[in-house]
Chain A
Amino acid sequence: MSKTQMTGAKMVVQALKDQGVEVIFGYPGGAVLPIYDEIFQQNQIRHVLVRHEQGAVHAAEGYARSTGKPGVALVTSGPGATNAVTGLTDALMDSIPIVVLTGQVPTFMIGNDAFQEADTVGITRPCTKHNWLVKETDELSNTIHQAFHVATKGRPGPVLVDIPKDVQFASGKYTAPKAARVSHYQPPVKGDIETITALVEAMETAKRPLFYTGGGVINSGPAASTLLRELVEATGFPITSTLMGLGAYPANGEKWLGMLGMHGLYEANLAMHDCDLMINIGARFDDRITGRVQDFSPGSVKAHVDIDPSSINKVIRVELPIIGDVGHVLEDMLRIWKSRGRKTNGEAVKKWWAQIEKWRKVDCLAFKQEGNVIKPQYALSRLEALTKDHPSRYICTEVGQHQMWAAQYLGFNEPNRWMTSGGLGTMGYGFPASVGVQMAHPDALVINVAGEASWLMNMQEMGTAVQYRLPVKQFILNNERLGMVRQWQELLHGERYSESWSSALPDFVKLAEAFGAKGILCSDPADLDDAIMEMLNHDGPVIFDCLVTKHENCYPMIPSGEPHNKMLLGEVSTKDAIGAKGAVMV
């Protein structure tokens, strides 16, 4: 047996090494000192000292999303653990595999309101896929191996292992991953062949088919994206994706309609509304997508491929539910479709494309850069033009209008290149996520497209970026407003801009300099290209303060509670567009 005696603290480091972990993001404290002592005495695993535990968890998320490997964070008991809660919830909503290790007061003090004691497993139970409190050193390594298994298998998600300090000091038997107890948790990956065949049959006859893909394709791994591309090219069907699925099918691909949903493209949303066969692959019928459920794509037969049975029929009833891993199911779909003679309803699909082309002509993302103030859409168009050919560009975002504009105006041609907080919509996600991405890809171009308000939420991570010489580019679209909130107030609350101002903003250039980084201010459209190039050419972290139009709205927009074909486009009058019923939705 591959079992050896060692302290719990040593076990933690050994287990991480055996799991192939290269980087952990963390912050020390009393309850994890033995583990930090072990980290000190080795060189294999790099530890990144963040400046706030929320940053550690988002960095782990960025690392995970950009590599496909689980991200790891290590924090202390009590406040360290509670600071991790937002990141855990974020990872749960977006199905990101991360392992968070927390210190805990010694077992004999649990329940006594000891110093820095918090009921960590209690607090994090609803925001983890699973969590464990380890009470015996003998169980520790096995539990950590289980944690990696659960985080990555099936629908990925965050897990947490809470380790009391006495368990870290005591000695016990180390179990290597191979010898670890196998978990009964083994979600099936193969889809039901009969249903897959029924879907292929439907694809052969469909007149207005549409692929609606999501984060599940990214979760399934790069092979799934390759298969998806093959299937789309072979069938010639149009494809749209959610915010979370961008990059699985390339934005420069011929069949690409752009993102769908609340701020999705006109052609993508109308295609969703009018299709007769909707093939949902790894998306979860989120309310940003469906709008008013009763009116959602009323004429279509729907197929849904998802590894999590609870995603199926949760929001939208589907005729063809397929429970399985995207990669496995796509492989079967392709094989069956080919073996049946590669049929599609060519004539009808051509007409369908003709219709889509008409919608495309609306050119819903068109904007005019006039005057001497930079429009945010223009800023992102220029950023796209100047970076799209970079061989390894990774984009993170914060949350708000800038996030939606980034999704609309930047093109993603590969999976795992786009890190954004979709489900929870966590302002403050993007900066630490960019730290995690850059740690995983030291030579890549990592840009965080930010709003000034979101960026301030985790700006302390400047310290981390500078300390580890991470050349992350913080591209702040500064409208001096909580723009997304302001937009809703304009459309929904009679332009009463209650508390949606970013007042007393710092001078971002001086702020960058105070941290020992570079700051760039740009306010004139004529200077923009040069300023962006200056940012790209600087070998080190940059804060780019891009002053943009203050009251720009993000369109297209489907108001909450409306169907897809009630979309607001930029120029039309949009006041009072959201009815009372929609107003209660967020």
Chain B
Amino acid sequence: MSPLKIKKGASSHSAYDLRDPHAEAIERHTLAVVVDNEAGVLARVIGLFSGRGYNIESLTVAETDHTGHVSRITIVTSGTPSVIEQIKAQLGRIVPVHEVHDLTVEGPSVERELGLFKVAGTGDKRVEALRLADIFRVNVVDSTLESFVFEITGTPEKIDAFAELMRPLGLQEVARTGVAALSRGDGAH
């Protein structure tokens, strides 16, 4: 036994999430990054991910406070727990970054994405597409006699599921916004 009172590998004194460092399990995390809306800030964030070999699954960015010149970048990324920890620490070092929140571990959160789907077809396929759209509570934002543009909002999984259904029904084009996310309940982050 070590004469020290601290067990090797103990995490009780850690300011960090110290799950098993050797766990190779890849986790998916949604990060909310609050930044100064200044020139080049998005390039800094993206450059960090490419320069250090991290994954970006989805990324959205828009100004959220016009007077304060503050933008919110929502990033969905994946990696082992230690990689995720590094990503957060590295994001935190970027000078115009104010806050980094890991919505995946900081309590319950909601995630939404918007997708636009162009589906072309006639006859049964067209009817079926419209019927499924209805089930998914999808809006029709454009239609011709031979095509629809559907607007769907939901979790990325829901949008994936809808895409799968539309594929055999004449899916022509998809545009997705990427994820926007907020923590649930009272309190900002």
Contact = CB atoms under 8 A, between A and B. Distances in A.
B13 A195 contact: yes
A402 interface: no
B6 A320 contact: yes
A109 interface: no
A233 B5 CA distance: 24
Contact of B13 (A198, A206, A207): A198
Interface in A77-133: 121-122, 125-126, 129-130, 133
A205 interface: yes
B95 interface: yes
Contacts of B85: 313
Interface string B30-44: 000000100110011
A301 B4 contact: yes
B2 interface: yes
B14 interface: yes
Contact of B8 (A121, A198, A205, A319): A319
B10 interface: yes
A206 B3 contact: yes
Contacts of A317: 9, 18, 21, 82
Interface string A410-447: 00000000000000000000000000000000000000
Interface in A111-159: 121-122, 125-126, 129-130, 133, 150, 155
B89 interface: yes
B125 to A, nearest CB: 48
A358 interface: no
A323 B15 contact: yes
Interface in B1-59: 2-11, 13-16, 18, 21, 36, 39-40, 43-44, 47, 51
Contact of B86 (A150, A194, A314, A321): A314
B40 A121 contact: yes
B6 A301 contact: yes
A300 B8 CA distance: 7
Contacts of B13: 194-195, 198, 319-321
A308 interface: yes
B8 A301 contact: yes
A205 B9 contact: no
Interface string A189-213: 0001011001001100111000000
Contacts of A309: 89, 92-93
Contact of B3 (A129, A308, A345): A345
Nearest to A192: B15
B143 interface: no
Contact of B4 (A125, A129, A206): A206
Given A310-B86, A313-B16, A126 B47 contact: yes
B122 interface: no
A277 interface: yes
A207 B3 contact: yes
B90 interface: yes
Contacts of A385: none
Interface in B81-99: 82, 85-86, 89-90, 92-96, 98
A191 to B, nearest CB: 10
Contacts of B18: 313, 317
A130 B9 contact: no
Contacts of A125: 40, 43-44, 47
Given A129-B95, A314-B86, A317-B18, A276 B40 contact: no
Contacts of B95: 129-130, 150, 183, 185
For A195, A201, A312, A319, which residue has the most chain B Cβ atoms within 10 angstroms?
A319
A319 B16 CA distance: 10
Interface in B129-181: none
Contacts of A581: none
Interface residues of B, number: 34
Interface string A165-205: 00000000000000000011100000010110010011001
A125 B96 CA distance: 13
A533 interface: no
Nearest to B36: A184
Contacts of A362: none
B189 to A, nearest CB: 16
B61 to A, nearest CB: 17
B4 A276 contact: yes
A386 interface: no
A526 interface: no
Nearest to A309: B89
A301 B36 CA distance: 39
Nearest to A159: B95
A323 B13 CA distance: 12
For B13, B14, B18, B90, which residue has the most chain A Cβ atoms within 10 angstroms?
B13
A348 interface: yes
Given A126-B47, A198-B13, A319 B93 contact: no
Contacts of A194: 13
Nearest to A298: B8
Contacts of A276: 2-4
A319 B6 contact: yes
Contacts of B10: 319
Interface string A38-67: 000000000000000000000000000000
B51 A202 contact: no
Interface string A269-307: 000000011000000000000000000000111000000
Contacts of B90: 310
A560 to B, nearest CB: 20
B89 to A, nearest CB: 4
Contacts of B14: 319, 321
Contact of A348 (B3, B6, B9): B3
Given A122-B43, A130-B95, A308-B93, A301 B2 contact: yes
A126 B51 contact: yes
Interface in B71-118: 82, 85-86, 89-90, 92-96, 98
Nearest first, the 5 A-B pairs at minimum CB distance are A310-B89, A130-B95, A309-B89, A317-B21, A195-B13
Interface of A: 121-122, 125-126, 129-130, 133, 150, 155, 183-185, 192, 194-195, 198, 201-202, 205-207, 276-277, 299-301, 308-310, 312-314, 317, 319-321, 323, 345, 348
17 contacts: A130-B95, A133-B40, A184-B98, A185-B95, A195-B13, A198-B6, A276-B3, A300-B8, A308-B89, A308-B93, A310-B86, A310-B92, A312-B89, A313-B21, A319-B7, A320-B6, A320-B13
Given A277-B4, A319-B9, 5 more contacts: A121-B40, A122-B43, A184-B36, A301-B4, A321-B16
